[in-house]
Amino acid sequence: MKIALLGYGKMGKTIEKIATERGHTIILKVDKDDNDYDLSEVDVAIDFSIPSAAVQNITNCFNTNTPVISGTTGWLDQYENMVALCNEKKGAFIYASNYSLGVNLFFELNKKLAKMMNPLDTYGITMEEIHHTQKLDAPSGTAITLAEGIIENSNKSAWELDNGNANGNTIPITAKRIENVPGTHTVSYTSEVDDIEIKHTAHNRNGFALGAVVAAEWIKDKTGVFNMKDVLGL
């Protein structure tokens, strides 16, 4: 498969290594604010860029009929517009806040636990995400997906970045930035008598990158808007 990497930072470089090991060829690398790139020979584009560039990169893919996988976080207020554009252009698109198999299993576990905990009003809920210090967005896209999974399955109405004033209806998310941490997410339920915690710790970026390449292989000849549950059959 001929792949374009839209974003060639930490993730772009890890994806290059894994895609090459799986027999694919990287024929285009874009790493700056330059829209004048040629996607005509590309089978699938993989966007891991920056929040302010993702929408333009994805739009360029739809306009050239190039299937696109996006892992960039921090632009999700535009997601529905991208879905509409993909459908209008009959494109192929996957966005996931986290492409690793482990986190996608964790998403499902989180939803099941939220459903079980919902009637138990003796427990309060908090979330924590920890990432490296170069991360541009907070909370992480993964933390937002986890919070949305809880909201769908409980009487919580929203999430908020923890400012110490959360009321009982919202999920407070603490975002910590520590040198070299690839991504750690914890969901905690706390009562007077005990705590229940579920936690995912990424040891490196290989799981994210492998998931993105598997998603690219999966979407190559498809049309439509999909997610990682479709790819993984969860």
Ligand X SMILES: NC(=O)C1=CN([C@@H]2O[C@H](COP(=O)(O)OP(=O)(O)OC[C@H]3O[C@@H](n4cnc5c(N)ncnc54)[C@H](OP(=O)(O)O)[C@@H]3O)[C@@H](O)[C@H]2O)C=CC1
Q: Tell me which residues touch ligand LZUJQKHR (CB under 6 A).
A: 73, 97-98, 131, 135, 140-142, 183
How far is Cα 71 from Cα 54, in angstroms, rounded to an integer? 9
**What does the alpha-carbon distance between residue 93 and residue 223 come to, in Å, rounded to a whole number?**
8
Is 24 catalytic? The answer is: no
Q: In degrees rounded to 5, what are phi and psi of residue 159? A: -115, 160
If binding is defined by CB under 6 A, does position 197 make contact with ligand X?
A: no
Which helix or strand (DSSP H or E) is residue 83 part of?
helix 79-89
**Alpha helix stretches (DSSP H) within 90-126:** 101-117
User: Does the annotation count 135 as an active-site position?
Assistant: yes
* Position 33 contacts ligand X (CB under 6 A): yes
87 is in an annotated binding site: no
Exposure of 88 by Cβ count < 10 A (0-12 exposed, 13-18 middle, 19+ buried)? exposed
50 touches ligand X by CB under 6 A: yes
**Is residue 107 a contact point for ligand X (CB under 6 A)?**
no
Identify the CA nearest to 228 among candidates 195, 213, 180, 87. 213
Q: Which residue is nearest to ligand LZUJQKHR (CB)?
A: 183
Tokens for 50?
A: 């920056």
59 marked as binding residue: no
Nearer residue to ligand X within complex by CB, 53 or 146: 53
The answer to whether 161 and 138 have CB atoms below 8 angstroms apart is yes
Closest contact distance (angstroms) between CB of 28 and ligand LZUJQKHR is 22
User: Residues 24, 131, 185, 200: which is the catalytic one?
Assistant: 131
Binding residues for (S)-2,3,4,5-tetrahydrodipicolinate: 132, 141-142
Binding residues: 31-32, 71-73, 96-99, 132, 141-142
Binding residues for NAD(+): 31, 71-73, 96-99
